[in-house]
Amino acid sequence: QSALTQPASVSGSPGQPITISCTGTSSDVGSYNLVSWYQQHPGKAPKLMIYEGSKRPSGVSNRFSGSKSGNTASLTISGLQAEDEADYYCCSYAGSSTPVVFGGGTKLTVL
Amino acid sequence: QLQLQESGPGLVKPSETLSLTCTVSGGSISSSAYYWGWIRQPPGKGLEWIGSIYHSGSAYYNPSLKSRVTISVHTSKNQFSLNLSSVSAADTAVYYCARLAGYGDHGDYWGQGTLVTVSS
């Protein structure tokens, strides 16, 4: 199972929106609306930000949203804040025998 | 509040077996709603799913690691464990345990992670 493809880095200024893409295949992202997104600050465990494509866990800011088109999922952060600077990973369900596949990660820099 | 805590040796010799345990507190590992998983992250690199297990013992593994991985569940202790055999320097990583929820097995609770170094 190949990893999902994410840009290595994205950047934006405070207050601006940014979008991180996550490209898979018809076997994972394209077949299921079951993409999750994680935020990871240095030295910390990943934190769930979006699950099942577009749902936000309790306590996650509504500045974070998820969507999907075809084999590509996207995470959008509106109104960038300094504390959003972190690594972001997408993850997709890929079937019952190999249920979890991660993207390579994207480093978000807030300018 | 659910908490997960990884434990085990921080240093393993090449060709030996890496063994870690995840202790779950604040909730039952026998809940029918969840799988329990291991994920690792080599230094400076991305996340890699290792495998997942249900309280019944039914487990799924990353095909790239399947020949070397065994995940077990110990319901009486509210723990699950990871054994990775024949390790090499490439297995040096922070190892996380997590609760996997929903149809997509998303990790809604994670342990803090434990660094395991493979070196002689």
pLDDT digits (tens, 9 = 90+) for A42-68: 999 999 999 999 999 999 999 999 999
Q: Sort strands B18-25 and B114-118 into parallel, antiparallel or unpaired.
A: unpaired
pLDDT grade for B14, boundaries at 50, 70 and 90: very high
Rounded Cα–Cα distance for residues A13 and A37 (Å) = 21
Q: Which residues of A touch B102 (CB under 8 A)?
A: 34, 51-52
Pick the residue with more confidence: A98 or B55? Answer: B55
Mutation target among B49, B100, B106 for the A interface, most CBs of A within 10 A: B106
Strand ranges, E, within chain A:
9-12, 18-23, 35-40, 47-50, 64-69, 72-77, 86-92, 101-102, 106-110
Distance of CA B117 to the CA centre of its chain: 15
Residue A41: both structure tokens together = 């600050």
pLDDT grade for B74, boundaries at 50, 70 and 90: very high
Question: Quick one: average pLDDT of A73-87?
Answer: 97
φ, ψ dihedrals at A103, nearest 5°: -85, 170
Rounded Cα–Cα distance for residues A44 and A46 (Å) = 7
Question: Quick one: average pLDDT of B55-77?
Answer: 94
Of B92, B17, B80, give the one whose Cα is nearest residue B51. B80
Mutation target among B22, B47, B110 for the A interface, most CBs of A within 10 A: B47
Rounded Cα–Cα distance for residues B40 and A51 (Å) = 20
Rounded Cα–Cα distance for residues B103 and B114 (Å) = 27
pLDDT at B104 over 90: no
CB atoms < 10 A from the CB of A58, how many?
Answer: 4
Residue A60: both structure tokens together = 């996650």
Residue B39, H or E segment = strand B34-41
Closest chain B residue to A57 measured between Cα atoms? B108
φ, ψ dihedrals at A39, nearest 5°: -105, 135
Question: Quick one: average pLDDT of A86-111?
Answer: 92
Report pLDDT for A95.
Answer: 85
Report pLDDT for A96.
Answer: 77
> Are residues A100 and B100, on separate chains, in Cβ contact within 8 Å?
yes
Report pLDDT for A1.
Answer: 53
Q: Which residues of B touch A104 (CB under 8 A)?
A: 46
Closest chain B residue to A32 measured between Cα atoms? B104
* DSSP-derived 3-state class of residue A75: strand
Query: How distant, in Å, are the alpha carbons of A47, B32, B109 from that of B1?
Result: 15, 18, 10
**CB environment B57-95: b (16+ within 10 A), e (fewer):** eebbbbeebeebbbbebeeeebbbbbebeebeeebbbbb
